[in-house]
Amino acid sequence: MIGRLKGELLEKHPPQLVIDVNGVGYEVDASMNTFYQLPEVGRRITLFTHMVVREDAQLLYGFYERTERTLFRTLIKVNGVGPKLALTILSGISVNEFVLSVQHQDTAALVRLPGVGKKTAERLIVEMQDKVKDFVFNDADEFTLTDGFSGSTPAVLTDSRAEAESALVALGYKPVQATKSIAQAEKAMPGASSEELIRAALKSMVQG
């Protein structure tokens, strides 16, 4: 199993990135909370990873914080929640926000995430109640990445809007919904990078 990668960030096309580790390029799927933390292409980074081995593929999922990876691993143990849905959940809500939603049994906050219906939200709350007690936050804002940017400002891509729409579709949002939300974000933030557009779109959709 590959539990950590340290190397040069070669590419980042949300929600995927490529890391060069001693000449080997590793393709990694990352949550948007992790993408918000990444420096510009060409810088060295360290990610905590989780590897999924299937008959037809070997997939790597990367996380900037160890706690986010821990929650990912806990989520995929819930019946009906696979790696893709877990990554979508962690893209639309921070670790801290998810824990609070489960503790407060806030199904409304969870069903706003793509792929999470009422039954899935209820299952998450029931199965995660005891498990989220292991998540201790020394700083209330430490894992609230969806509300404030931390890290270097990402480079603006040539076609930020198209890349942002593609990222939302890859995360499970419907194409029409992705196009509408990104258009609204772009109107409010002309010249924004794809990551900034995705952040704004996800925030607007999750908050309803």
CATH of the domain at 127: 1.10.150.20
Residues 80 and 119 in one domain: yes
Q: Which of 9-13, 47-51, 92-96, 154-158 has the lowest mean pLDDT?
A: 154-158
124 pLDDT band, cuts 50/70/90, is very high
Question: Same structural domain for residues 128 and 72?
Answer: yes
Q: What is the CATH number of the domain that holds 168?
A: 1.10.8.10
Q: How far apart are CA 17 and CA 12, in angstroms?
A: 4
Sign (positive or negative) of CA dihedral 12, 198, 98, 174: negative
* More confident site: 140 or 118: 118
Judge whether 143 lies within some domain. Answer: no
Statement: residue 151 has pLDDT above 70: no
The verdict on 38 and 87 lying in the same domain is no
Query: Strands 16-21, 24-30: parallel, antiparallel or unpaired by DSSP?
Result: antiparallel
Task: Tell me the pTM.
Answer: 0.78
Residue 37, both tokens: 């933390």
71 and 100 belong to one structural domain = yes
| Residue 152: inside a domain | no
Structural Rg of the chain based on CA atoms: 16
Kindly state whether residue 118 falls inside one of the protein's structural domains. Answer: yes
Extended beta strands in the chain, E state: 4-13, 16-21, 24-30, 44-53, 58-63
User: What would the pLDDT profile of 23-81 be if each residue is shown by its tens digit?
Assistant: 999 999 999 999 989 999 999 999 999 999 888 888 999 999 999 999 999 999 998 89
Give the torsion sign (CA, 156, 97, 77, 68): positive
Query: Which DSSP category does 193 fall into?
Result: -
How many residues comprise the chain? 208
CA distance 99 to 61: 21
- Give yes or no: residues 75 and 126 share one domain: yes
Whether 124 and 177 map to the same domain: the answer is: no
Q: Which residue range forms the structural domain that includes residue 89?
A: 66-134
Q: Is residue 54 part of a domain?
A: yes
